[in-house]
Amino acid sequence: MPATLTEKILARAAGRDRVSPGEIVTVRVDLAMAHDSSGPRRWKARLEALGTGLWDPDRVVIVSDHYVPAVDADSAAILKLTREFARDYGVKNFYDMKGICHVILAQHGHARPGLVIAGGDSHSTNAGAFGCYAAGFGATDMTAIVATGETWTVVPETIRVEIDGALPTGVAAKDIMLALCRDLGMGNHFKAIEYGGAAVTAMDMEQRTVLSNMAAELGGETGIIEPDETTLAYIRAHGGEVDDDALTRWRSDPECTYAHIHHLDASTLAPQVAAPHSPANAADVTDHLGVEIDQAYIGACVGAKLTDLHMAAQVLRGRQVAAGKRLLIAPASGKVTEAAAKDGTLAALTEAGAVILPSGCGACAGLGAGLLAEGEVCISSTNRNFKGRMGHKDASVWLGSPWTVAASAVEGRIADPRPYLAKAREAA
């Protein structure tokens, strides 16, 4: 029987020839990941009460990214517990203050086609860009997973999102996802979101992860992309091992059944912004030009990778952040900061007036530097703009691509990045 990529992966993990949407199956987990907020501080007491350890410490990845660097005694205590847990339980894949967990998984070759990855964070779907089934789980489920190496799941139906056409100037994967949040809504529960089409094939892996990451905003169980040569090259370049047969083995069959096929012509898309307080409140940037902002923020797993910082620098070179406004940038990992320093991107950003923050989840998760006061307005490259998420409950957060955020920082109000990019091309 023809099967989707998601069904093939879950069947393999369940030790079965095939599975069907709606079935509840028990699957073997290939990799478990958690961060300092969702992991050891939630697991430790439960594991001690059960009298057990980790089923396989080599298959557990822990990343400190939420409370880093510690800004108070409580944060420091959480980090201390996390470090001690990794030491005492033999977790070799512990990345302490190296960057955001989802970016770390990619940068260290942990995400590979055909795997089942269980993550203690809703945006664990990020790893699905590498052709694996990656989903987020709550702390209780994650405790059971790290203790047994297994979990149960409902086999989801698959929505195929076919994205064709070339991306116009000023339009990035983030704009596609904001448009999809508007068009598909955020209630696609028990669905896997499978992305494909010419526009996806043309993307690099950093842009593809934006699609898989924000499947969480669509309400999907996972966001998945069939592997191709771009996938394999990235994995191998970042220390991962992958078989050549992944390109033929981990694909949806042509005759498989999808719950729905959604078509999007990327060539018709304008830069998008999402108004408070939902990513689904997306519209063309031209519908909201001139909304005054106090802060522009480029950060998070979805919006502060190296390509994202390059986008911001394209707009900001030779320009200044508007007087009385602030632009904060939190690179997604130490590797991103290092690369951006080497290629001159950090210099372009700081010369324009940007303030560089430590790598970590930071204000995106309502932690650390960059929080908003009552009544303040921010435009952000993060994935969510829910009420109160980045600070005071009466602050307002707009979402956009790094291009749009950078252009807005220059004008001090929501701005269209396309004129800036046109001038940058002329100057080049």
The stretch 402-416 carries a mean pLDDT of 98
> Tens of pLDDT along 246-292?
999 999 999 999 999 999 999 999 999 999 999 999 999 999 999 99
The CB-side HSE value for 101 (13 A sphere, CA atoms) comes to: 32
CATH 3.30.499.10 matches 5-266: yes
Distance CA 296, CA 304 (A): 13
For residue 13, the model assigns a pLDDT of 98
CA-nearest of 384, 360, 364 to 372 is 364
Give residue 425's pLDDT: 84
Given a cut of 80, is residue 171 above it in pLDDT?
Answer: yes
pLDDT at 388 over 80: yes
Per the prediction, the chain carries an average pLDDT of 97
Q: Who's near 30: CB < 8 A, 6+ residues apart?
A: 13, 59, 115, 116, 117, 132
**Residue 329: per-residue pLDDT:** 98
Mean pLDDT value across residues 389-393: 97
* Residue 338 reports pLDDT greater than 80: yes
What's the pLDDT at 424? 86
Both tokens assigned to 179: 């448009």
Q: Are 366 and 384 in contact (CB under 8 A)?
A: no
Residues 91-147: tens digit of each pLDDT:
999 999 999 999 999 999 999 999 999 999 999 999 999 999 999 999 999 999 999
User: What was the pLDDT predicted at 427?
Assistant: 80
Q: What does the domain layout of the chain look like in residue ranges?
A: 5-266, 270-427
Burial tier of 247 (Cβ tally within 10 Å: 0-12, 13-18, 19+): middle
Does the pLDDT value for residue 317 go beyond 90?
Answer: yes
What does the alpha-carbon distance between residue 324 and residue 315 come to, in Å, rounded to a whole number?
A: 19
User: pLDDT tens, 342-379?
Assistant: 999 999 999 999 999 999 999 999 998 999 999 999 99
- pLDDT more than 90, % of the chain: 98
What integer pLDDT is reported at residue 387 of this predicted model? 96
Residues 255, 4: Cα–Cα separation, whole Å: 9
User: Is the model's pLDDT at 413 over the cut of 80?
Assistant: yes
pLDDT digits (tens, 9 = 90+) for 44-96: 999 999 999 999 999 999 999 999 999 999 999 999 999 999 999 999 999 99
- Angstrom distance (rounded) from CA 363 to CA 373: 12
Q: What single-letter DSSP state applies at residue 34?
A: E
The CA-atom distances, in angstroms, between 340 and each of 313, 334, 348 are 10, 10, 10
Candidates 131, 139, 69, 155; CA nearest to 334 is: 69
Q: Give the pLDDT of residue 32.
A: 98
Domains 5-266 and 270-427 share a fold: yes
The DSSP-derived string for 332-399 is SBHHHHHHHHHTTHHHHHHHTT-EE--SSSGGGGT-STTPBPTT-EEEESSS---TTTTB-TT-EEEE
349: Cβ contacts below 8 Å, ≥ 6 apart: 309, 312, 313, 316, 329, 340, 356
**Residue 426: what pLDDT?**
83
Topology of domain 270-427, CATH = Aconitase; domain 3 (3.30.499)
